[in-house]
Amino acid sequence: MSSRYEIRLSGSGGQGLILLGIILGETASIYENKNAVQSQSYGPEARGGMSKSDVIISDEEIDYPKAYNVDFLLALTQQSFDRYTREVKKGGIVLYDSTLVHSPREGDYRLIGLPLNDTAIKDIGKSMVINIVSLGAIVKISNIVTIENTEKALLKRVPKGTEELNKKAFYAGVNLAK
Amino acid sequence: MADIRFIQGNEACALGAIYAGCRFFAGYPITPSSEIAEMLSEELPLVDGAFIQMEDEIAAMAAVIGGSLAGKKSMTATSGPGMSLKLENLGYACITEIPCVIVNVQRGGPSTGLPTSPAQADIMQARWGTHGDHPIIAVCPSSVSEMFTETVRAFNLAEMFRTPVIVLSDEIIGHMREKIVIPEEGEIPIVNRKKPKVSPEEYKPFKGEEDYVPPMAAFGEGYRYHVTGLSHNEEGFPIQSGELVHQMNVRMHNKIYKNLDKILKNEVYMCDDAEVIIFAIGGSARSSKGAIRHLREEGIKAGLFRPLTIWPFPEDELRRVCSKAKNVLVVEMNLGQIVFEVERVLGCTGVRVDGLFDSSGEPFTPLSVANRVKEIIKR
């Protein structure tokens, strides 16, 4: 049985999905000695437009670097929810933002709606940390990497001076998913 | 302690260049290769190297030739539209036998095509893009680690054979992030170009030695010589048509084709008992490995032949590996290019060659490759 675990992070450009994927990949590959691959696809525009970032985590060698049988989908827009839920495997998890995704369609997956964006705005004061709030929720729900190791990778990756803010956002996400 | 990083293929390429001894980069940024230039603009000054962003790709390639003639290992990086512009001076580097490395992180084409999506439609361009009967070496990495090691190998081959070497990557490999253990100093041998052992008066800059490769003096070392894109004699001065021109072209051909054992490199994966062998490079090879994983689980004997050197083409090894197979499937992100080389090589061996082609800018999924394999073995 393959240990391959596929995470797809989807939404719109500017939501920080690539950074979110990098932190997950770094946690797994550097702090947990697993294999990880992160890739992304986006249009030529810098903001807006569809954006997705895939993270594959495995104990074995990872051949194909993209998600195609998704274990965990994060959808931060209605458009990305509609487009990518069909690639989620049976029994997989779909985490969506309960405000930004207004009509979540049921399927052969576990559907979890959380106010990720509202939490970023109300608790942290910046919608731009929606990616880090999501990171906390993903780690808590999936258990694919530990919260402690993710915190280490997160604090090493974010710009100096923003560590406390990001830590707060991360644990807001963890608590949201409890 | 081991230096373990989680970085992009393009970043690994930049680090590999520094490791190989590259101390000059001239380029013009273009998606999806820009991270190579970006990283080298930061790293090169730290090792007494130089980085120049030129006014365009034509000038960048010219600057690389100049940098190498001055004795520095030199490199540029680009993608399709920029590669088209570099071709003129690539030909100049071929005939003047200038060691240098050109990275092409392939994206969708033709023209500006799909800037952020992968393709493998520059395979034949790498071989024949610049005009004339020139030899060329092109290497194809398939992982972040290989973006490092193949860039080092590209520099080594360039130095060994006084020739431009293309690192033919693609957006999948250039942009993905993966774990890499950075090799320690000395772990991978580094090759430096042969220098003349004779006095400046006796030096013939284009006279091949036993391995057909002429020693190369750096400008500024006291060896004065002439460099021209015209067909030239051993001293470097233009000559007209005739036997000497033919000899020059043959020697340049031989320095690559008589040294294949030092240049070719392949990964042969699960081919011993394989009835179907997939031929793929770069990003497509990863999709193909995923497909083989699925096919083997279903009891279908599939394997992978993956050239890390695509030019010169690995004729003998491909023929040997495929000798017992019934089918070969060529998987490439274009409308069918390298498949014709495979057909040429396997044409009269009785192996049936098919292709799986796509130019959508979306990588093949392992399932699409596996399905195509099932289709061809059913017939």
The CATH number linked to A122 is 3.40.920.10
What does the alpha-carbon distance between residue B350 and residue B186 come to, in Å, rounded to a whole number? 45
A36 touches chain B (CB under 8 A): yes
Round to whole Å and give the CA distance between B100 and B66.
10
pLDDT in tens, B231-252: 999 999 999 989 999 999 999 9
Residue found by looking up tokens 């990880």 in the block: A36
Nearest to B6 among A36, A64, A66 (CB): A36
Q: In chain A, how many domains are there? A: 1
Q: Which residues are paired to B77 by β-bridges?
A: B103
A125–B contact, CB cutoff 8 A: no
- Measure in Å the smallest separation between the Cα of A122 and chain B Cα atoms: 33
Q: Which CATH superfamily is domain B3-182 in?
A: Thiamin diphosphate (ThDP)-binding fold, Pyr/PP domains (3.40.50.970)
Tell me the per-residue pLDDT of A22-56, one tens digit each, with 9 for 90 and over.
999 999 999 999 999 999 887 666 566 788 999 99
Please give the mean pLDDT across all residues of chain A.
94
CATH architecture of B266-378: 3-Layer(aba) Sandwich (3.40)
Lowest mean pLDDT among A65-69, B8-12, B264-268, B277-281: A65-69
- Given this chain, do its domains B3-182 and B266-378 carry the same CATH topology? yes
ipTM of the predicted assembly exceeds 0.95: no
| Cα distance between residue B26 and residue B11, in whole Å | 16
For residue A95, give how far its alpha carbon lies from the nearest alpha carbon of chain B (Å): 24
> Nearest 5°: phi and psi at B372?
-65, -40
| Radius of gyration for chain B, computed over Cα atoms and rounded to the nearest angstrom | 21
The span from the first CA to the last CA of chain B, in angstroms, equals 54
Show the tokens assigned to A35: 């294999």
Of A41-55, B58-72, B348-362, least confident by mean pLDDT is A41-55
Q: Where are the domains of chain B?
A: 3-182, 266-378
What per-residue confidence (pLDDT) applies to A1?
Answer: 41
Segment B217-240 mean pLDDT: 96
pLDDT at position A46, please?
58
- Residue A136, chain B, CB below 8 Å: the answer is no
Tokens of A152: 């280490």
Residue type, A8: R
| pLDDT at A80 exceeding the cut of 50 | yes
Confirm if A39 and A31 have CB atoms less than 8 A apart: no
- Two structure tokens written together for B65: 């030739």
- Helix, coil or strand: residue A160: coil
Q: What is the largest CA-CA distance in chain A?
A: 44
Which uninterrupted H or E stretch holds B85? helix B80-95
SS3 B190: coil
The whole-number pLDDT of residue A95 equals 98
Average pLDDT for B100-119: 96
